[in-house]
A and B are shown apart, each in its own frame.
Chain A
Amino acid sequence: MKYDKIAPGLTNALEDYKREGVRGLLSHERRMGLIVTEDTPKPPRVIVLIDCDETAQLDHLAAHGIRVNQPKGQIRTGFLPLEKLDILSEEAAIRRIIPSHPLMLRMDVGRSKVHLPPPSQSPWTGKNVIIGIIDTGIDPKHPAFEGRILRIWDQIISGPGVAEGDYGIELTGPLLEVSRDTNGHGTHVAGIASGNDEKYLGIAPEAEFVIVKSDLQTGHIIDGLYYIFRVAEELGRPAVINLSLGGHADPHDGSDPLSIAIDTLSGKGRIVCCAAGNEGNDNIHAQATVSEGETCTVRFHVPSSMHSPLHEPIRTMVLNGWYSGTDQVEVAIQSPQGFTTPFQGPITNGLPRREYDLPEGFIRIVTPGPDLENGDHNIWIEIYSPSNAPESITSGNWHLLLRGLSIQNGRVDIWTLDDSYSDDVIFTDSNMQDSMKIGSPGAAHRAITVASYTTKVQWTDSSGEIRRAFAENLDQISSFSSEGPLRNGVEKPDVAAPGAYIISALSKDSSINPAFKVDDHHRVMAGTSMATPFISGVIALLLEKDSTMDPEEVKAWLKKDSSIPGYRSEGFHPKWGYGLIDLNNL
C-alpha cells in the first residue's frame, strides 16, 4: 500500500473498516462517496478521484474489480471496493487517490445556487407553518418526515370522507401508515419542501405537513384546497399549498374553475404554489390568424405506435381551441387521406356537439356559444380511432380548418391533448408556437407559478454508476420548462427555482428505475414539480417570518431579487418569469 498517494480521510476510513468492519465506516459515510449497503454481502465501495498520467492505461484494473470510468485524462473517476485501494495505489502511473465528496450529490447544490443560507446560519426553518401538498400521497414512515405529518386525507381509500367531500378517509397519528405513496412523486416533492434529512435537507425542515392524496381530478383538488386551508385555520397557522400538477384542457387564461378557486381562497397567510408545466420541448400549442371569409389550416401529426416515443397507440386525442368572443369561426377536420368533416360554427340552441364518422377517425366537434366566465369561444374536438380500426387513430398529417365567419380579432389558440403520457400528437407547421403552454393551475393569477432551473446534470446511483442527463444544460433554465405568458397576456411563470436534477425522499412503496435510485431513502427526479416545492419551502420560511403575507407580497418579495443569469434586461421573460430566485436577503 502506497499511503503517500492516498488522501488521509480515505486512509482513516480504510483503517477503521479493517478494525471494525462496516460499523467503522458510519462516521465516514457522510463525508465521502462511500457506498455501504447493509443488507447485501457486497463489500463497501468507494468513489474516488484519480490523479494520474494523462495517457495511463488502467483497463487491467477491472480484473481486480476496480472500475476507472475514463480511458484517458489526468483526473479520472473510479469506483472500487474499499479493500482494493492498495492495488490502486501500487499503480505507478497514479499519483494521488482522493475520495469523492458528497457535495455533488446533495440538494445543497440547489440551495447554494439560490444563496439559501445553511441552517446553521439562518433562524428560519418553517416552524409553525403548514405545508399542504395535494399529490400522490407521502411515505409516512420516511425518516425525513418523522413526527411532522399532521393529517393525510387519502381521497382514494374508501371511507366517510371529510367535511369538504364525503369520500376517502382522514388519517392521523399511527393510522397515517395506512396511506401509501405507491407513485413516489408526492414523497419526493415533500422532501424538497420540508425534508428533515442530514444528506438532502429540505428548504423548511421544521414545517408540518397536511397531505391530500388525490386522484388528480380538478374537482377533488379544489376540495383538497378547502380542506387544507380549513385545517390551517383550525390550528391558527399560516399555510402554503403545493400543486406540482398541470393540464391543458382549460382556456390558459386563469378563468377555469380550479384557477378561480385558488384566486378566491388565497389571501393573508394562504398561499398556493403551482408548477409551470413540462411542455417546453413539446409542440402542443398553435396559434392561427383567421380572416373573415377566408380559411386557414393548422397541421398536426399523429404518430404511428412504432414511432411514438413510448410505442403506445394513440386511440383518442383532443384539440382544445379558444378565440375571442367578438369573432365567429367555423371549424372542420381533415384526415391524412383528405376526408373532411363539414364546417361547424358556434351552436347556441340545444346540444352544441356534432359527430362525424370518417374512414380514418371518428370525430366529435363541440362548438358552444361564448364561455360564461371569460366570454370567449371554445372549440373542443375529440378524435377517436375509427370504428373499422379501433386500435388507433390513423397516423399521419391531419389538418384543422378554420374559416372566419365574422372577425374582429382573428386569433385562435389551440392545444393538443392525447391519451399517451408523452404529448405524442404535435403541431408541425408554422402555426406552432413555443408560448402560452402554462395551463391550469399554473395559470391561476394569484398562484406563485414556478419554472425549472437546472442545477445538476449528473448523479451516482445506488450501484455506483454515474448517471448523466444529457438533455439539459447546467445552470440554464430547464428545456422542458413550459413557456408563458397566458393566453390573455398575463405574465407567467413568476420565478424559476432548481428543478433538475433533484435528489429527495424516496417512497418505500414506489417502484423505481434503478438509475434514479441514489440510496435506500433517496431518488432523483426532474420537473417543474421539483422546482415548485422549492418555492413552497421558501414561502414557508417567509410565512414563519411574517404570517400575514399575502400572495402579492410573496410574489413581490421573490421577484425583487430574482434575475436571469447573464441577462442584462430586467422584467418578465416567458421561460424564466422574473428569473432565478435569490435568497440572500432571507
Chain B
Amino acid sequence: MDYSKIDAVLAAKLADVQDQDQKCLIVLIKTVQVPNATETAFLESLGIKKNVQNQQLFTATLSANNIADLSEKPWVKYIKPSHELYLT
C-alpha cells in the first residue's frame, strides 16, 4: 500500500476493514494522465468504467486489497473515499 496516495479519510477507513477482499469501499481514483490501453484494461478488470474519452477521475467500489494494488501503480495519482452528502 502506498499511503502517500491515500487520503486521510480513506486511511482511517482502511485500517478498520476486516475482510481485505470484500468490495465495500466506494472510492474515487485520479490518474496522472488519461489512462492508456493497458491501464484502462487494468481498471476494467476491477470493474471500473470509463465514461468519456479524456477521463482521469473514476468511481468504483473496491476492496482494501484492490486499493492497495491500485495505490502501487505509478499512473495512479491518488485514491480518495466517497462521502455521504446531506440534503440542503
Q: Which residues of A contact B (CB under 8 A)?
A: 135-136, 163-166, 183, 185, 215-223, 226, 230, 244-247, 249-250, 256-258, 260-261, 264-265, 275-278, 348-353, 364, 366-369, 371-373, 378-380, 382, 421, 440-441, 527-529, 532
Contacts and interface: CB of A to CB of B under 8 A. Distances in A.
Nearest to A348: B4
A351 B3 contact: yes
B87 A135 contact: yes
A357 B76 CA distance: 35
B49 to A, nearest CB: 7
Nearest to B56: A264
A380 B8 contact: yes
Nearest to A222: B59
B57 A247 contact: no
A533 B85 CA distance: 18
A10 to B, nearest CB: 41
B6 interface: yes
Contacts of B60: 219
Contacts of B30: 257, 260, 372-373
B8 A366 contact: yes
Contacts of A216: 84-87
Contact of B26 (A217, A264, A277): A217
B40 interface: no
Interface in B33-57: 47, 49, 51-52, 56-57
A372 B9 contact: no
A372 B77 contact: yes
A350 B3 contact: yes
A528 B88 CA distance: 6
Interface string B1-21: 101111111011011000000
Contacts of B86: 216, 245-247, 421
* Interface bracket on B: 35 or more
Contacts of B6: 368
A146 B8 CA distance: 46
Contacts of A373: 30, 78
Contact of B51 (A163, A275, A364): A163
Nearest to A350: B3
A372 B78 contact: yes
A366 B12 contact: yes
A402 to B, nearest CB: 16
Contacts of A136: 87
B82 interface: yes
B8 A379 contact: yes
A261 B57 contact: yes
A275 B88 contact: yes
Given A352-B8, A382-B12, A165 B49 contact: yes
B61 to A, nearest CB: 8
A378 B57 contact: no
Nearest to A226: B51
Residue from A230, A256, A275, A352 whose CB has the most chain B CB atoms within 10 Å? A352
B44 to A, nearest CB: 12
Q: Is the interface of B mostly helix, strand, loop or mixed?
A: mixed
Interface of B: 1, 3-9, 11-12, 14-15, 26-28, 30, 47, 49, 51-52, 56-57, 59-61, 77-78, 80, 82-88
Given A165-B59, A352-B3, A373-B78, A215 B84 contact: yes
Contacts of B9: 249, 366, 380
B29 to A, nearest CB: 9
A244 B83 contact: no
Contact of A257 (B5, B11, B28, B87): B28
Nearest to A164: B51
A452 to B, nearest CB: 9
B8 A163 contact: no
Contacts of B80: 256-257
B15 to A, nearest CB: 6
Contacts of B1: 351
Nearest to A452: B88
A58 B47 CA distance: 72
Given A165-B59, A380-B8, A529-B88, A250 B83 contact: yes
Given A166-B49, A528-B88, 6 more contacts: A218-B83, A219-B59, A222-B59, A276-B88, A367-B8, A527-B88
A195 B48 CA distance: 37
A164 B77 contact: no
The 6 closest A-B pairs by CB, nearest first: A219-B82, A380-B8, A257-B28, A275-B88, A366-B8, A219-B59
B28 A218 contact: yes
Nearest to B47: A166
A222 B77 contact: no
A421 B84 CA distance: 13
A372 B28 contact: no
28 contacts: A135-B87, A164-B51, A166-B47, A217-B84, A218-B28, A219-B27, A219-B59, A219-B61, A221-B85, A222-B28, A226-B51, A230-B51, A245-B88, A247-B85, A260-B57, A278-B88, A349-B3, A351-B11, A351-B15, A352-B3, A366-B11, A367-B8, A368-B7, A371-B7, A371-B78, A379-B8, A380-B12, A532-B88
A154 B84 CA distance: 17
Nearest to B6: A368
Contact of A164 (B49, B56, B83, B84): B49
Contacts of B51: 163-164, 226, 230
A260 B58 CA distance: 11
B50 to A, nearest CB: 10
Contacts of B8: 352, 366-368, 378-380
A351 B86 CA distance: 29
Contacts of A440: 85
Contacts of A183: 87
Contacts of A226: 51-52
Contacts of B84: 215-218, 247
